[in-house]
Structure 1
Amino acid sequence: MAHNTFIDKKSVFDSVYTENWKALYAFAYNILQDKESSEDILQEIFIDFWVRMEETEIQNFRAYLYQAIRNQCAKKLKNKKLTPVEITILEQSAQLAEEQEQNDFPKEEIIKEVRQKAQQILPEKCYEIFVLRFYEHMNISDIASFKNVSTSTVENQINKALKLLKQQNINYIKLLALLIAAAHHS
């Protein structure tokens, strides 16, 4: 009897893994922008999933796995100094990616599109700081020195830019999450 239980557990696990690993990896990578970290999280999640399959009854495997990925990514990102606005955007992006399960959206095109939109809607100084932070990957103190302003001015301008862009639409939230992850990865 115990042998059959193991076979059933293994077949369920194999099926869930095969159906979900690519989307889960893309989900983690979209948040973290780091191949190794995304792979590590995926491995941890599936090991944990294997263990929990016996302990608890998971109603919706996919929802459980996405939530686990989101939690692990959040833990990883806490070590990076993110502003509250950046954290909110990353969380919203993660939620959208889970809901829509869009594994690949045209990242480069959207990055270009957001830069154009930012140029249209942001005040000039705000736009310049936004570009330095997210496209040139300069840190906040370097931008402050470069622009000869305080770090709080730079942070305020970045938050203003993110809030204005976030109001645009769903793709901008996803893109902003990519930009934030990339800026904090470098």
Structure 2
Amino acid sequence: MKKSTLDKIPLKNLAELISKSDKEAFNTLFDLLWDPMYTYATSIIMDTAIAKDLVQEVWIDYWQRREYVEVQNIKSYLYKAIRYRCYNNLRNSKFNKIQIETASSITVNPDVELDENVIALENKIYQSIQALPERCQEIFRLSRVNFMSNKEIANQLNISQRSVENQISLALSKLRKDLSIVKFLLF
């Protein structure tokens, strides 16, 4: 694949290509995330040279373990890896009061800090919806994603309101069944 094509691929797909030793995919992901990761590491360490080394170590480690790394959100995985490297570096070095205060006050963007369980649940819900019949999916999305009333859906799709209710009921029943195992595991 050409690099310009790889730039348009979602991060999850890049991670899948990298697990198959695709160097161009790795370079694309590296180009996308190097600067933000470096900035993040620098904000924790407050030493540009050490931050650069730590980010480099994370990328080297990721490449070496690419075949074994199985994550749903590669960006979250890499940010957690750099955070842990930074904290380990701080723990193993002598640092001043300002560095301690800064390290304890840093937060990660919630988009990056998504819990793996939430991501897994989100994927399971998406898969369950994808498994529904096409018309049922359409009606369910109009109802639950677009927040349309049953009457509005019926008018838009030129079907009876009772048909809309039946399809939504079918979708919810399937989701409850598919997610009952997840609910048991999480709670």
Higher helix residue share? 1
Would you say same fold, with TM above 0.5? no
Q: Which has the larger radius of gyration?
A: 2
**TM-score range relative to shorter protein:** 0.3 to 0.5
Higher relative contact order (CA 8 A, sep 6+): 1
